[in-house]
Amino acid sequence: MTRIDDSLIGSLFDQAEKSPRLRAHHRFHTADTDPVQRIMICAKAGSYIRPHRHPGADKWEFILAVRGRLLFMLFDDAGQVTERIELSPGGTCGGIEIPPGTWHGVALLEDEAAFAEVKPGPYVAATYAEFAPWAPAEGEPAAAAAEAWFRTAAVGDRFGG
């Protein structure tokens, strides 16, 4: 049995602090081939999670906020924000299920946040996610500006436009 407790989350936040990506995760599943993928993700402010979608009719994603406040944004194919959803434990929305093929991105609204992610497997790196062509890749100079924009963008805004 693995506990999702202060020890696990604290350890992940410590790892995230030292990571260039400003996030760390813990896998609960044992192999990439497992039929259900279960992950705890802890992130620090400034972590850029490039908008993406999961291709395949069965590739939904379930997210549950564990600590802090997160912003999940849904986008259309051109990068226009179609929905902003604030997640927080004990808030008005604590979790979401993202339908297959939906462009989505994540931004932190506090210094750190933790969330659980559940999705169908298997995990195949080459086909796991399609990254938004209108958003900069991780590590590109424009990524920091994109991360900042995501936190304040309103429904109807389009990245880069």
CA 50 to chain centre: 8
Average pLDDT, rounded, for the chain: 95
Total of domains in the chain = 1
What's the rounded Cα separation, in Å, for the pair 72 and 51?
10
**CATH code of the domain containing 67:** 2.60.120.10
Any domain includes 159: no
155 has pLDDT over 90: yes
Domain, as residue range, for 21:
6-152
Average pLDDT over residues 48-68: 94
pLDDT band at 160 (very low <50, low <70, confident <90, very high): confident
Any domain includes 25: yes
Question: Which uninterrupted H or E stretch holds 73?
Answer: strand 70-75
Any domain includes 157: no
Any domain includes 122: yes
pLDDT digits (tens, 9 = 90+) for 12-54: 999 999 999 999 999 999 999 999 999 999 999 999 999 999 9
**Beta strands 36-44 and 49-53: pairing type?**
unpaired
What's the rounded Cα separation, in Å, for the pair 98 and 141?
29
Give the per-residue pLDDT at 159: 83
Any domain includes 73: yes
Any domain includes 33: yes
CB-based contact 151:71 (threshold 8 Å): yes
Tokens of 53: 């979608």
Give the per-residue pLDDT at 85: 97
